[in-house]
Amino acid sequence: MNPTACILVIGNEILSGRTQDMNVQYIARRLAEIGISLMEVRVIPDIRETIVTTVCDVRARFDHVFTTGGIGPTHDDITAPCIAEAFGVPWTIHSESFRLLEAHFPPGEFNAARQRMATLPEGAIPIRNPVSVAPGFSMGNVHVMAGVPRIMRAMFEEVSPGLTHGTPVTSISWYALGLYEGTLAAGLSDVQSCHGQVDIGSYPFHRPDGRRGVALVSKGVDARAVHQAASAVRDLIATLGFAPVEGEPPP
Amino acid sequence: MNPTACILVIGNEILSGRTQDMNVQYIARRLAEIGISLMEVRVIPDIRETIVTTVCDVRARFDHVFTTGGIGPTHDDITAPCIAEAFGVPWTIHSESFRLLEAHFPPGEFNAARQRMATLPEGAIPIRNPVSVAPGFSMGNVHVMAGVPRIMRAMFEEVSPGLTHGTPVTSISWYALGLYEGTLAAGLSDVQSCHGQVDIGSYPFHRPDGRRGVALVSKGVDARAVHQAASAVRDLIATLGFAPVEGEPPP
């Protein structure tokens, strides 16, 4: 069994609809590539009790928790002290991060607000931020990252090599134009029954230019089983009289 | 207090990173407009126990639950029977929906798979689908919608007028180019302290062409209080020597 993961998106701006999340898909893809199973994503508001309670809940249920958002210098950036509270440890200056940030800002500009970004839960291991210096951190199995996508990605690539990996997910997609789900459902159900180790997903598409069809995605950690299931999916499409095309449908 | 809501995104395709969710932002914006507070979003896999347990949990904690995904005709579309299980009712043919779908398909094509789309939890109220006929449904406070964005939006607009509304959220954004969060954090914290009814969020931006700055968003259900907080935000930007611009920063 691969290790499991949960993403916590901490941010009122997602819940208000102001911002389109651009982090979940990146993390989800990368986790599949390194063999960690993403089991849940939660978006929660910048409310202390909610963050603390949710972190306590999910860190007990999943092998890894990745958080995004709330680690900047302003009053609404409360992720770090909440993680400290969830782990029952003080939230204190991390001297190495303090020195890095102090050196980064011009004299006189490393003010109290910016010093908050060098304040971590006691015992946290900083995650290097090659973009703007202010670190993320890992506290136990909770990996705390920035919300800005460019910084989040850099932090994920810093922290992920050190995580316990599993078997990468193999994923094979076949699609067919003009084929509808209702036509293939019975046959696809049989294919799924014969390939129980593989997740077969059926995703209809309907493009603005009128092209319609369905993509059938086989995925799992047993590459051989995934290839066998995908072959059966391809054969099903052909049997129904449609032309199977490997890959994801064009946008 | 406005009614509260949770969105459940049911779909392996989001957790695998295959698909970028395009529904949460739409629902979030519309809920803010009609005065329902979105408190949580969860993305969960197409696993029966997980769906049933999560629905039971969130329908007790929030006034409204909106689900997206899993109501098509294929084997991986298990949302409807899971909702029935969560409510302890049978999953049975809904005769009005059956007749609508039967009339929609050419003779002989309304097969068993498509009949599943007319099978609803007993007591559910169908949500009309003006795009492709197969309905969503409301079961108690749980509103079950399609995952395909165009269909989801149509269903949301069908169901939302009948929901208990609250006071719409007023949101006012001011931004400034060249201003960084660390510079304004102390002043902004004071503004937030003086306007406790208003949520003030600070969102840095950094465009590919190099334009940087910060957007400060004041929002809440007391329109007068939001306008006062936003004025204080504008004054803070000016006091710091930057040019406040109303609205969201250009893309």
Give the tokens for residue A14: 């997602």
Look at B16 and A32 and tell me if their CB atoms are within 8 Å.
yes
Collapse the DSSP code of A128 into the 3-class scheme (helix H, G, I; strand E, B; otherwise coil) and give the result: coil
- Residue A127, pLDDT score: 98
- Residue A18, pLDDT score: 96
Residue of A nearest to B4 (CA): A15
- Residue B165, pLDDT score: 87
Distance CA A144, CA A79 (A): 8
Compute chain B's Rg from CA coordinates.
22
Q: Which of A8, A12, A15 to mutate to test the interface with B (most CBs of B within 10 A)?
A: A15
Partner-chain residue, chosen from B111, B169, B182, that has the shortest CB–CB distance to A114? B182
Q: Strands of B212-220's sheet, edge to edge?
A: B199-206, B212-220, B170-177, B245-246
Backbone angles phi, psi at A194, to 5 degrees: -80, -10
Look at A41 and B76 and tell me if their CB atoms are within 8 Å.
no
Which regions in chain A score pLDDT beneath 50?
none
Percent share of chain B, pLDDT over 70: 100
- Residue B208, pLDDT score: 87
Look at B14 and A28 and tell me if their CB atoms are within 8 Å.
yes
- Residue A176, pLDDT score: 98
**Dihedral over Cα of B10, B13, B14, B19: its sign:** negative
Backbone angles phi, psi at A196, to 5 degrees: -65, -20
- Residue B41, pLDDT score: 98
Chain B residues within an 8 Å CB radius of A18: 171, 201, 203, 217, 248
How many angstroms away from the CA of A186 is the closest CA of chain B? 7
Residue A210 CB partners (closer than 8 Å, separation 6+)? none
pLDDT in tens, A193-228: 999 999 999 999 988 898 999 999 999 999 999 999
Look at A73 and B24 and tell me if their CB atoms are within 8 Å.
no
How many angstroms away from the CA of B142 is the closest CA of chain A? 18
What's the whole-number mean pLDDT along residues B192-213? 94
Q: Which of A6, A13, A18 to mutate to test the interface with B (most CBs of B within 10 A)?
A: A18
Chain A residues within an 8 Å CB radius of B217: 13, 16, 18
State the pLDDT confidence band at B251, using cuts at 50, 70 and 90.
confident
- Is pLDDT above 90 for B195? yes
Return the number of other C-beta atoms located less than 10 Å from residue B41's C-beta.
24
Domains and CATH numbers, chain B: 4-162 (3.40.980.10), 170-246 (3.30.70.260)
Give the tokens for residue B153: 């939006």
Partner-chain residue, chosen from B15, B42, B186, that has the shortest CB–CB distance to A42? B42
